[in-house]
Structure 1
Amino acid sequence: MSSVARLTRRGLLGGLAGLAASPAVGHALGSIVSSPSVISSPPRTWGVDETPANLPDPDVLPLDPSFGLVNYGNSPLRKLWQGSGWLEGPAWCTVGRFLLLSDTITSCQYRYDPEDGPQGHMSLYRRQSFNANGNTFDAEGRLITCEHGMRRVIRWEHDGSVNVLADRYRGKTLNSPNDVVVAPDGGIWFTDPAYGDGVVEGHADVDGPANPQRHLNPYLDAELTAQYGGLRRQEDHTFRVDPKTGKVEAVLGQKDVAGPNGLCFSPDGTRLYVASSGVAAGSQPPLPDHAIHVFDMKQGRPTNGRLFTDFTLAGRAMRPDGLRADVEGNLWCGAWGPLGLCGVFIYNPHGQMIGRIRLPVGCSNLTFGGPKRNILYMCCGTALFSLITATQGAGHS
């Protein structure tokens, strides 16, 4: 495993922020640079109202002619907003015409209205989200959210009540539900790694491999203490919640995909993609391989698991995060790694990278939104970026 692969995604922000990989600026891969704007030529400031001097955008990179079918060359990358702790879980609300976002560190959720002013408007949506992460809307327009803090998946009903869809498996509490999607049959699928099993994005385990010395105390927050139980790290799983019975079923285990993070279905629902991301606190072998895995869907269950891509670029082991599919079956993937390489990778259904988007920081999660579902929204640490595309997001992804 390379040194990059062993780093946490948070560590990449600091430890790799000075690494450049852009031939345009004449730096060899891994060299140290002082300017934060080395990835574009000419350099860009990445201000909220900044646009590149030239189009097509120099940081939207076609790698195969087929990328031209989904890339709109007259659209620049835009930095829409900055100011959060750590943005995750973007989900487009079709009825409300807004983008919902989670801030896992400050434990709140935001509402971004793209039609309110030239740059849109960000406002507070939920003051206490219990370190919410992934979000999605089902076919009835109900919001489904993964909560690290409560270690559960919830659904907001139309009457404003909260329905807990999953918080336990075989009598044990979950780790920290991360990403969630709705399958074509209405089943709710979510990943349950342990990235939130700490004091920053959730709460610590009582003891066990994620808190072996019991130095971390999960009972300090009076608002949450009554709901915390004997919480300990368990195996990584990818779960399915049956839409009729509510039964929580482990459809993939740690041996299938360790450290599962982003997931999505192909547009026709015949494939499931799952990203294996970083090593979390208390992880036991098998450890994540920092790759994307694909499964064939047979009778509603994943089979024939195999490697979709090892997620390397320019000889560097990168880190996949959130995933979304477009209507052509291409996979758009958030990528962590050195400056100049990190951003978004786009793969065709055969696992070939056909394009990529360079960003000044790695992308944790992304989704397609807008009235036509053709705007790619990208959560990148403390900032939100967007790009108008020539395709649309798959409806259930």
Structure 2
Amino acid sequence: MPTLTGRRTFLATGLSMVAASTVKAASAPPEPPSTVSSPPRSWSGRAPTAFLPDPDVISLDPSFKDLLFPNTPIQRVLTGGGWLEGPTWLGEARILLLSDTIRSQQYRLIPPAESGEGSLSVFRQESYHSNGNTLDTQGRIITCEHDMRRVIRWEHDGSCSVIADSFNGKPLNSPNDVIVNPLDNSIWFTDPAYGDTLIEGHPDSPGNGANPTGKLRWTLGTEVPVQFAGHARQAVHIFRVDGQNGQIKAVLSPEDVPSPNGLCFSPDQKIFYATGTVSGSSQSGTQRVIYAFDMVDGLPRNRRVFCSFMLENHNMIPDGIRADVFGNLWCGASGPFGLAGVLCYNPAGKLIGWIRLPFGCSNLTFGGPKRNELYMCCGSQMFRLLLETQGAGLS
């Protein structure tokens, strides 16, 4: 995700950030209806029968209809967050874990059986501005922390293990999204500099990155002065942590994936995908795209552009991505009002479907007991759509 003034401006298009200190209950005052549908729809509850099939679930190719259940609408299951990220389904507990990067908390959401909002409670009171979450093959939670600039794992006994917090002797930038390769238990994460702000983490040291004038006190309000010492932004990479010895390796460089954000594997783990969020220079010729790599001996090789991420002549901003069991790629998209939501690509990189949402979508995941419920984080709100496909990954 790009800087606060870049990515957040796009992601928050049409979105009023909610300043309440607690998440609103389902009985909160009604909000003005969205204008992305005609007639305008209300997100306060289940869509009227006349809206089925949902007009905001749009098939751009006949094959997309095979993935849909036409008798269910998009549902809003959560409102009143700060900025929601990193949704991960915990199958044993049947709850959704998610991060609130602004409030520095993690939540547990018990989804509603049908319409209305789910039951929300605090999972971790202080999450150090966590972002991405996932599960490993043993069911342990792995979390990216912006504030501590590290990737951690919560063990079954409740202890915390640091997976990665530095590379080549330098602190990480702000780990963003994380996944696990079930073939070798390796942990993969992106490390852009999107969380080096006062709102989502802590600034860089004076004269660096988000603190060019040196006026921001980057060590203020912490009990861990060593971790929060003067950090300077380092080159942005995608990292792999070995599942056996814990060794961290930079597998993709800024030239391979400029400004990396979301990442995932194909269902058979033979293809690795990563999103490039910020437009590159004219010299590099890069744009906001999804890249694909062949997995060769456990490492990504043979880079190519999987899709250009264009919608109605707009280069949308890709964010979190997840694959379903058929190899389709579902990706959060932000951009002009009325275009934002989720884009679905088939394994060949063809855009086949579009879930139109009132706000830009950052992260998403498949959940529910059958893993056929698509949960979509959109700023302070979360939406759900029941599908006739299932998620392929661990989270």
Q: Same fold (TM over 0.5)?
A: yes
Matches of 1:143 and 1:279, distance apart in 2: 32
> Which amino acid counterpart does residue 255 of structure 1 have in structure 2?
E
> Which amino acid counterpart does residue 76 of structure 2 have in structure 1?
K
Q: Give the alignment of 1:133-282 within 5 angstroms.
A: 133-184=131-182, 185-207=184-206, 208-278=208-278
- Answering whether residue 68 of structure 2 is matched by residue 68 of structure 1, we say no
Matches of 2:210 and 2:329, distance apart in 1: 33
Higher mean C-alpha deviation, range 252-261 or range 114-123 = 114-123
Residue in 1 aligned with 2:41? 44
Residue in 2 aligned with 1:99? 96
- Cα offsets for 1:100-148 (capped at 9, x unmatched): 0000001001000125786321111111000000000111110000000
Matches of 2:79 and 2:285, distance apart in 1: 33
Higher mean C-alpha deviation, range 288-297 or range 196-205 = 288-297
Query: What percent identity do the matched residue pairs reach?
Result: 55
With over 3 angstroms needed to count, the CA separation of the structure-2 counterparts of 1:227 and 1:62, relative to structure 1, is same
Is contact 1:51–1:77 with CA below 8 Å preserved after alignment?
no
With over 3 angstroms needed to count, the CA separation of the structure-2 counterparts of 1:78 and 1:216, relative to structure 1, is same
Matches of 1:117 and 1:387, distance apart in 2: 11
Residue in 1 aligned with 2:20? none
Say which of 316, 319, 322 aligns to 1:321.
319
Cα deviation, residue 222, structure 1: 3.3
- Cα offsets for 1:179-204 (capped at 9, x unmatched): 00001221100000000011111110
With over 3 angstroms needed to count, the CA separation of the structure-2 counterparts of 1:287 and 1:170, relative to structure 1, is farther
Residue in 2 aligned with 1:28? none
SS in 1 for 2:332: strand
Is contact 1:136–1:143 with CA below 8 Å preserved after alignment?
yes
With over 3 angstroms needed to count, the CA separation of the structure-2 counterparts of 1:358 and 1:116, relative to structure 1, is closer
Residue in 2 aligned with 1:113? 110
Q: Give the alignment of 1:3-22 within 5 angstroms.
A: 8-12=6-10
With over 3 angstroms needed to count, the CA separation of the structure-2 counterparts of 1:218 and 1:53, relative to structure 1, is farther
With over 3 angstroms needed to count, the CA separation of the structure-2 counterparts of 1:279 and 1:178, relative to structure 1, is farther
- Answering whether residue 374 of structure 2 is matched by residue 376 of structure 1, we say yes
> Which amino acid counterpart does residue 322 of structure 2 have in structure 1?
R
SS in 1 for 2:228: coil
Is contact 2:322–2:331 with CA below 8 Å preserved after alignment?
yes
With over 3 angstroms needed to count, the CA separation of the structure-2 counterparts of 1:193 and 1:13, relative to structure 1, is closer
> Which amino acid counterpart does residue 298 of structure 2 have in structure 1?
G
Is contact 2:101–2:129 with CA below 8 Å preserved after alignment?
yes
TM-score (norm 2): 0.90
Is contact 2:129–2:201 with CA below 8 Å preserved after alignment?
yes
Residue in 2 aligned with 1:32? none
Is contact 1:88–1:104 with CA below 8 Å preserved after alignment?
yes
Is contact 1:368–1:377 with CA below 8 Å preserved after alignment?
yes
Is contact 1:277–1:288 with CA below 8 Å preserved after alignment?
no
Matches of 2:270 and 2:347, distance apart in 1: 12
- Cα offsets for 1:210-261 (capped at 9, x unmatched): 3221122111113344531231111110000101000000000100001110
Matches of 1:240 and 1:316, distance apart in 2: 33
Higher mean C-alpha deviation, range 203-212 or range 60-69 = 203-212
With over 3 angstroms needed to count, the CA separation of the structure-2 counterparts of 1:209 and 1:395, relative to structure 1, is closer
CA RMSD of aligned residues (A): 2.4
Residue in 2 aligned with 1:301? 299
Is contact 2:309–2:318 with CA below 8 Å preserved after alignment?
yes
Query: Following TM superposition, where does structure 1 have runs of at least 4 consecutive aligned residues deviating by more than 6 angstroms?
Result: 285-288
> Which amino acid counterpart does residue 175 of structure 1 have in structure 2?
N
SS in 2 for 1:338: coil
SS in 1 for 2:156: coil
Is contact 1:258–1:286 with CA below 8 Å preserved after alignment?
no
With over 3 angstroms needed to count, the CA separation of the structure-2 counterparts of 1:357 and 1:383, relative to structure 1, is same
> Which amino acid counterpart does residue 243 of structure 1 have in structure 2?
G
- Answering whether residue 57 of structure 2 is matched by residue 57 of structure 1, we say no
Is contact 1:48–1:81 with CA below 8 Å preserved after alignment?
no
TM-score (norm 1): 0.89
Matches of 2:37 and 2:74, distance apart in 1: 12
> Which amino acid counterpart does residue 126 of structure 1 have in structure 2?
R
Cα deviation, residue 52, structure 1: 6.1
Cα deviation, residue 48, structure 1: 4.3
